[in-house]
Structure 1
């Protein structure tokens, strides 16, 4: 039986990619697309219900899974709307603050919510592997990270970089809020041992590159993940949507839960 999908921001980079992949997947049916008011022209190309209000669309499709790669406050509002109607929502939006993440967890207690700042299988495997590597190398190895994205990305560091940095800090029983270094300038002195640097580069149309450096006495280890296409993240969201279909409320689901 096909799973009904509603795509938010269907004219955006991620939204259009997701909508196209949904239409090509025999296990899924694109039943609705949503755009903000004033941007809805041209949505009829998808051959499904089009609109600017998710709340008006959900009663037409009970149980449909909503996929959202928009903006933090928009995603939170959509999650609340889905919870009221009992529809699952898959969110890939990055840049959520700690307060917004806490609010999303509260919404997940009322309705089925899945959130991951990176839907890549490879990145989520790194989240499992990097802590083990960190512990094995020990604290004599300094940890730094560089993340590179396209020039239209609004948040920095990327949600993926922060997620990776959190798992690295956790492996050393550190609090990232205390040890994260996101900017260096001027005469700053020697690098503290208890520090994780996360540096941001923006330019061109780069989909996403994250490199973690472990720098120790006499050697350096580099672990790099490169996303070659947005389809990598879009396919992850479709996999999550299939997994979320029929799932209930009670927790904020993630890629780790799905794996």
Structure 2
């Protein structure tokens, strides 16, 4: 059971989270923090320091003024944090960074997965469009929002500046007769009214064309879902400062699994390391219509190497005869043919940005005593050979390990 302390439990997001977490098995709010008490089925305290209740993670949707008071208490108790509060200044952000040396902290000014995708789109657009286009951000929120501009608007602006050669200077609205737009400006404009949950439009205005990227939140539910996902994520992390980008990368480390059956693993040990010999081998097989898939070479030992590759079962007998003929003038080479194997490939766009994916995969296989006979990898892909009899079980274990 994940025990959650909710800071800002009487606010709008606090109400949404309270309702949502009730429906989630294995997660409960054990205490709330808020200056304003409201009817809840958990105890509410005016500060984290006053609360005697032990939790594993605190989700913070309170005001920026509470940060300095709860950080020392969270550090003392080893409490993981999800900080979703907007309006934090540079000093507050520095305090979070310092605190992350002691506890795991998840920090995002917007808990929507979609808005974090928008960040990546903005950076791609900025790289392509360069400095020829004028950039402006318009953000809209409900009439009760206290801070302006929104933390999300600033986060998006920072994403754009992060990939520019010459960072833009933020201009918050324009008033007066001397407001001619300068090339180095990035305008940020705030609208307040009604019940907007949140809308951000980023425009790139060039000669005779405008490119606009818009994100609209239709309810606060999207932020609650992101905060809940962040809480589950951060309690599994070591101390450090994490972002929505980190969580997205972890969830996309493995997104696809596919299998290929009726494979045969060919291993050649004590082969000459001369590239001419290796080239001749592959050329000889190709000339006889033997299709090779996975290829793996080891480092040289005593001037020789071991290499392995896979072929289809339909080509096994033909390949066996051809290899026997090819190896006749190489008496030291050892040929091993393993039948009844399959290839499992796991793939994900986040794999190239995080370490430990292969470690998790192979540890899961080792725990289940599933043998791995050969491996090849690339930035976004791991493929390995295993006995065909265990493929179904191996795939189920991978899905469980990576939450697919």
TM-score (norm 2): 0.59
Q: Distance in 1 between matches of 2:111 and 2:195?
A: 19
Answer yes or no: is the 8 Å Cα contact 1:75–1:93 preserved in 2: no
Hey, what does 1:27 align to over in structure 2? 26
Residues 1:213 and 2:203 aligned together = yes
Q: Identify which of 91, 99, 104 aligns with 2:96.
A: 104
Partner deviation per Cα, 1:63-100 (whole Å, 9 max, x = no partner): 52111101112033223311110011111000111111
Hey, what does 2:46 align to over in structure 1? 52
Q: Distance in 2 between matches of 1:157 and 1:17?
A: 23
Hey, what does 1:252 align to over in structure 2? 241
Answer yes or no: is the 8 Å Cα contact 2:141–2:197 preserved in 1: yes
Hey, what does 1:202 align to over in structure 2? 192
SS of 2:67 mapped into structure 1: helix
Partner deviation per Cα, 1:24-65 (whole Å, 9 max, x = no partner): 1113122112221xx22423xx2x3332232243x542x521
Change (3 A) 1:66 1:189: closer
Partner deviation per Cα, 1:142-163 (whole Å, 9 max, x = no partner): 1111001111111111000000
Q: Identify which of 130, 150, 157 aligns with 1:165.
A: 157
What RMSD, in angstroms, separates the aligned Cα atoms of the two structures?
Answer: 1.6
Answer yes or no: is the 8 Å Cα contact 2:141–2:192 preserved in 1: yes
Answer yes or no: is the 8 Å Cα contact 2:170–2:186 preserved in 1: yes
Answer yes or no: is the 8 Å Cα contact 1:79–1:89 preserved in 2: no
Larger Rg: 2
Answer yes or no: is the 8 Å Cα contact 1:146–1:200 preserved in 2: yes
Answer yes or no: is the 8 Å Cα contact 2:137–2:201 preserved in 1: yes
Structure 1's unaligned 5+ residue stretches are none
SS of 1:54 mapped into structure 2: coil
Q: Distance in 2 between matches of 1:34 and 1:189?
A: 45
SS of 2:49 mapped into structure 1: helix
Q: Identify which of 227, 231, 237 aligns with 1:237.
A: 227
SS of 1:181 mapped into structure 2: strand
Answer yes or no: is the 8 Å Cα contact 1:75–1:91 preserved in 2: no
TM-score (norm 1): 0.90
Deviation >3 Å, runs of 4+: none
Q: Distance in 2 between matches of 1:12 and 1:221?
A: 36
Change (3 A) 1:9 1:194: same
Return the structure number with greater strand share: 2
